[in-house]
Amino acid sequence: MFTAQRISAFDGDSVNLLAVGNDHGCAQTGGGVSCFGTYYSGRDHIPRISIQSLPGTVSALAAGKEHDCAISGGGAWCWGRNANGELGHEGDADTFNQAVPVAGLNSGVQKIAAGTGYSCAIVSGGKVRCWGYKRHGLLGDGQWTDAEPVPQIALGEAAVIFADRFEVR
């Protein structure tokens, strides 16, 4: 039987937003966004790493397998592993404690989701934009090639978005 465990990294803080991914999680407190867990430490204890450079107010968090994203100041920002373009910018540099802006999504982002090697957002007008790993048709554009680091895919209109290991719903 499993029981809920206290996350000591946030003792004394009021958590406003929470997202959990594969072996890690991220939370927004009054002091900003911090992430914790095995993925961020490489060890089986729970450190707390502050995420830098998020502008404005964070209104949403999303945790993927090895990366995370947020809506901050109305735009999409991501950090973590960038092996497949899942951070949404050119290049393949990982940024574990430094958020980077997602190319072309600096305003109008309403919802955000992170999956295994890819991310998606709902922008103004209900349009969906996805970026990252394209295998298995994950980005919804009918392509099965490797990566698309810059969000260019329009899937139509949506009100809710969820990114799983191999599908967007």
Task: Report whether pLDDT(92) > 80.
Answer: no
| Cβ atoms of 89 and 68 closer than 8 Å | no
- Model pLDDT for residues 113-169, shown as the tens digit of each residue: 998 888 889 998 888 888 887 665 555 555 556 655 555 555 555 544 545 444 444
Residue 85 within any structural domain of the chain:
yes
Q: Provide the CATH number for the domain around residue 100.
A: 2.130.10.30
Would 119 be classed as within a structural domain?
Answer: yes
Residue numbers of the domain that contains 139: 13-148
Give the pLDDT of residue 169: 45
36 inside domain: yes
Domain presence at residue 156: no
For residue 1, give the 3-state DSSP assignment: coil
Residue 61 resides in a domain: yes
**Domain total in the chain:** 1
What does 100-146 look like in DSSP terms, one character per residue? EEPTT-SS-EEEEEE-SSEEEEEEGGGEEEEEEE-GGGTTSSS--SS
Is 79 a domain residue? yes
* 105 within a domain of the structure (yes/no): yes
Residue 52 gets the label, from left (phi > 0), alpha (psi -120 to 50) or beta, of beta
pLDDT of residue 61: 96
- Domain membership of residue 161 (yes or no) is no
